[in-house]
Structure 1
């Protein structure tokens, strides 16, 4: 594996300055589209290992506004798919090498779906890896109830308790029963603190990202998009919330679900303390993009 130099750049957009990283030449030397990797609330750092397996392609990663190195000047903390997609649209235009191939993971997959529906000319293939878009679920009402209890636990008891409740929700197999999450697991079970440090600004657990989990993908627009949409999920996630959202998305679009190795963070190689199967993940991504 060769080493590719990383060039860090910034882009001013309405209300924010985005920081992004480019690995490889722009425009691309062989005319192949850049590969854009996006997450939410994860920033570019989470894709470091995955990018290292694509040294033959120009890879672009970025920090969403207000996260990592990207700053906000719009006096807001709220994250919405609409705003995120507009930011990515401006980023693709700045690259001058579109349309791009795009892997969006978690909230980044929600952004990718909004981008493909709104700016289809920006993307060639969109791999939407485990989008947490709860309206896709048949038990969406109970899922929203469970999500509300995660947020309530966080607001009342702090980060450790909120994260433990979040883990319980996202690891649950199958549809959520009525009242799921009424009893919160002890964070000590997961090696997390039980003490409340008083902060309530977590980009995952606070209300700033609620618009992401509440996003209803525009199925008709995606079916009519010039972009190829590939719902995807990790095999170890089978039966969990984000496997089921991906599976439902595939069914509604009338396409096959692309099954990737590992889990929700299967592309990671130790970033944020998570290690999946990044090499195998990269190989599957290559196959899907070539599909």
Structure 2
């Protein structure tokens, strides 16, 4: 049985919940959107055989509450949150980092700001649309999701957003009431994060403008990644555009935008190969 150790770290404006599993070099997993540490539960046991795996709930999500009223988030603050979790677990030790979706944006900013703390960062489908040659339509899409949320509420925004990132109704979980109790609790917890995500995270993260020159300087520490089933869908387009622009190879992980949950064994197996350098 895989044993998790739970911890909390205070940061300006929030208290971050994190879980640590396994032994070995530190591997930090950064969740995106309205998800939390549990979104990686399918891959953690396999990875924990080789690594000290750390996953946390981003500020405002689930068990990482804000200290006060929610406010629009900043990517630089998210990166410092990730560093605070690393400091709590690893001290000054450098770590491997895997981030998906907006978590990949956090991982890239963390690499830019603190390259000495990162051994390798895998950026899986960061929706950083300012990396696109022409971001006009992508900007408009995310703005329309935000406006739909403000005008028509979360369910309408969900339908527009999920369709736009390539997740249709067949890909989604069964109704919450049909899930086993242990999964129902997690699904309800993450579902409750949607309001914060649409109101305070969606636009700040998707409008992030990375320091491309810094990323190029750090190319030996950055692995661009997409899902094998989602490489032609919006969240994958920015990292593909960046890789094409600077001549990087891109790793295609099994599954789609959430391949770590849909294909956990295959996903973790490839991630282990990337971390050990056998694909580079």
Q: TM-score, normalised by structure 1?
A: 0.81
Equivalent position to 1:150, from 145, 154, 159: 145
**1:130-151 deviation line (CA, Å, top 9, x unaligned):** 0011111223011111211122
Query: 8 Å contact 2:73–2:200 — kept in the other structure?
Result: no
> Does the CA-based 8 Å contact 2:99-2:124 persist in structure 1?
yes
1:109 aligned onto 2:109: no
1:211 counterpart (204, 215, 220): 204
What are the Cα deviations for residues 54-99 of structure 1, in whole angstroms up to 9, with x where unaligned? Answer: 1312100011111111122154332221100011112212222621
1:200: Cα distance to partner? 11
Report which of the two structures shows the higher radius of gyration computed on alpha carbons: 1
Q: Indicate conservation of the 8 Å contact 1:103/1:129, yes or no.
A: yes
- Are 1:65 and 2:62 matched, yes or no? no
Which is bigger in relative contact order (C-alpha 8 A, separation at least 6)? Answer: 2
1:78-123 residue CA offsets vs partner (Å, 9 max, x unmatched): 2221100011112212222621111100000000000000111111
Give, in whole Å, the separation in 1 of the partners of 2:264 and 2:139: 31
Spell out the pairing of 1:183-262 with structure 2 (5 A cutoff): 202-225=195-218, 228-262=221-255
CA distance in 1, matches of 2:82, 2:74: 12
The answer to whether the 8 A contact 1:40-1:107 is kept is yes
Displacement of 1:169 in angstroms is: 1.8
Query: Which residue in 1 is equivalent to 2:95?
Result: 100
Aligned to 2:155: 160
Are the aligned partners of 1:19 and 1:70 in contact in 2 as well (CA < 8 Å)? yes
What is aligned with 1:53?
46
Q: Which residue of 2 aligns with 1:38?
A: 30
Q: 1:6 to 1:279 in 2, by over 3 A?
A: same
Q: Alignment RMSD, CA only? A: 2.4
User: Per-residue deviation at 1:36?
Assistant: 0.8
Give the equivalent residue in structure 1 for 2:2.
4
Unaligned runs of 5+ in 2: 176-191
- SS of the equivalent of 1:125 reads strand
Question: How many pairs are equivalent?
Answer: 256
Q: In 1, distance between residues paired with 2:193 and 2:88?
A: 35
Query: Is the alpha carbon distance of 1:208 and 1:285 closer, same or farther for their aligned partners in structure 2, counting shifts above 3 Å?
Result: closer
Distance 1:200 1:267, change over 3 A: closer
- CA 1:200–1:12 in structure 2 vs 1: closer, same or farther (change >3 Å)? closer
Structure 1 runs of 4+ aligned residues shifted over 4 Å read none
1:167-178 matches, cutoff 5 A: 167-171=162-166
Distance 1:144 1:54, change over 3 A: same
Determine whether 1:82 maps to 2:96: no
Structure 1: runs of 5+ lacking an equivalent? 173-184, 193-198, 269-275
Aligned to 2:122: 127
Partner of 1:196: none
**Structure 2 CA distance, aligned partners of 1:14 and 1:137?**
33
Find the counterpart in structure 2 of residue 179 from structure 1. Answer: none
Partner of 2:85: 91
Aligned equivalents of 1:253 and 1:10: distance in 2? 39
